[in-house]
């Protein structure tokens, strides 16, 4: 009863001033509230793209994004401890490598501000919304640097606001890729298998693959590997298997698989050659598949979510009779070896 009454206690107002509120998350037991305040850059102008084909016949401006290289806004993350009635700022100077500059800075002329400036302040980062374990034992935050060179997975201590490193990926080209979204979300495909085991995707090998880590010991395990990408991944409701979409068969082809949370051999479920965009039914027993091939537009299929089941075509709307009558060519897919030895 006391805990219930505590939840009903009014919270003090917290003013955001001229900043934008985002990433509001409450811990499972209701003690900690986290959020992010973002301040736009002083010169936050956006580009415009002219649209010449309009209903009126007059050119129309389409609002675009800010220019690449323009100053970006800054964000700060906070934790409110309801028990202590205290607001804590999550400090980014505790992040390992936060002062590391991108390698390209070494190529700048000596008199440029980027090279000559003192490294007295940490790089700007975006701290994603915390992912809490089911019982609230741990909170994982996905942090990306604004220069797109670093990504950190860090445990957040709600009582102190302290961060502790779980995994760091640095890429002098670009942090991102399938399942590793950048921005104000939680960072991509990730979550808790159990109270101490967190799963995520990483391009540490050059390909986006599935990993899990025991946050109590720091032991990281690769669940998939090879010269292909995990394009989509989700954990089953019973947390015993992953549902993954990969291009393992060949680049450009998407197939759906089931994979035990312990790793090992993935079982392929879809059978149609080409693109299979899968949506699971709520009970995870059936698949709705948007399927297409090089000379066949998208159509909808249904299939049982098990190996050996056959897809049943539901729609036949994408091709008219005239379209079907034309002998559309089945394109030949080829590979060749680039100068660096990679297959293209």
Q: Domain 231-344: give its CATH architecture.
A: 6 Propeller (2.120)
Q: Domain 1-42+72-98+122-222: give its CATH architecture.
A: 8 Propeller (2.140)
Instruction: For strands 32-39 and 74-81, give the pairing.
Output: antiparallel
Q: Helices H, strands E: what count in the chain?
A: 3, 23
Answer whether residue 117 shows pLDDT above 50: no
The mean predicted confidence, pLDDT, of the chain is: 91
pLDDT in tens, 215-273: 999 999 999 999 999 999 999 999 999 999 999 999 889 999 999 999 999 999 999 99
Quote the CA–CA distance of 115 and 119 in Å, as a whole number.
10
Greatest Cα-to-Cα distance within the chain, rounded to the nearest angstrom: 74
Cβ partners under 8 Å of residue 208, min gap 6: 177, 178, 179, 180, 201, 202, 229, 230, 231
Contact status, residue 35 vs residue 197, Cβ threshold 8 Å: no
The pLDDT of residue 5 is 56
pTM: 0.88
- CATH 2.120.10.30 in the chain is located at 231-344
- CATH 2.140.10.30 in the chain is located at 1-42+72-98+122-222
pLDDT in tens, 298-328: 999 999 999 999 999 999 999 999 999 999 9
Helix (H) or strand (E) holding 231: strand 230-235
Structure-token match 């915390």, residue found: 130
Quote the CA–CA distance of 321 and 306 in Å, as a whole number.
34
């Amino acid at each position: 009863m006391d805990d219930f009454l505590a939840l009903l206690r009014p919270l003090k107002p917290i003013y955001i001033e001229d900043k934008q509120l985002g990433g509001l998350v409450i811990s499972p037991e209701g003690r900690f509230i986290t959020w992010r305040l973002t301040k736009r850059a002083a010169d936050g102008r956006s580009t415009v793209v002219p649209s010449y084909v309009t209903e009126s016949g007059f050119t129309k401006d389409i609002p675009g994004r800010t220019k690449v290289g323009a100053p970006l806004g800054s964000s700060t993350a906070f934790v409110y401890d309801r028990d202590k009635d205290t607001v804590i700022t999550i400090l980014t100077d505790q992040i390992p490598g936060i002062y590391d500059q991108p390698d390209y800075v070494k190529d700048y002329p000596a008199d440029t501000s980027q090279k000559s400036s003192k490294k007295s302040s940490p790089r700007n980062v975006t701290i994603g919304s915390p992912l809490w374990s089911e019982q609230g034992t741990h909170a994982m935050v996905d942090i990306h640097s604004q220069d797109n060179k670093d990504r950190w997975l860090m445990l957040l201590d709600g009582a102190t606001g302290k961060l502790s490193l779980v995994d760091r990926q640095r890429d002098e080209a670009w942090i991102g890729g399938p399942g590793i979204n950048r921005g104000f979300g939680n960072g991509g495909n990730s979550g808790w298998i159990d109270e101490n085991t967190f799963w995520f995707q990483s391009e540490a090998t050059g390909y986006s693959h599935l990993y899990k880590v025991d946050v109590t010991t720091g032991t990281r395990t690769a669940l998939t590997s090879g010269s292909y990408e995990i394009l989509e991944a989700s954990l089953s409701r019973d947390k015993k298997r992953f549902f993954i979409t990969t291009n393992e068969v060949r680049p450009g082809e998407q197939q759906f698989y089931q994979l035990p949370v312990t790793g090992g051999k993935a079982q392929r479920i879809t059978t149609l050659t080409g693109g299979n965009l899968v949506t699971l039914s709520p009970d995870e027993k059936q698949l709705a598949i948007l399927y297409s091939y090089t000379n066949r537009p998208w159509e909808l299929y249904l299939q049982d979510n098990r190996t050996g089941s056959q897809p049943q075509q539901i729609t036949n709307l994408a091709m008219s009779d005239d379209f079907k009558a034309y002998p559309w060519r089945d394109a030949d897919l080829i590979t060749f070896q680039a100068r660096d030895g990679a297959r293209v």
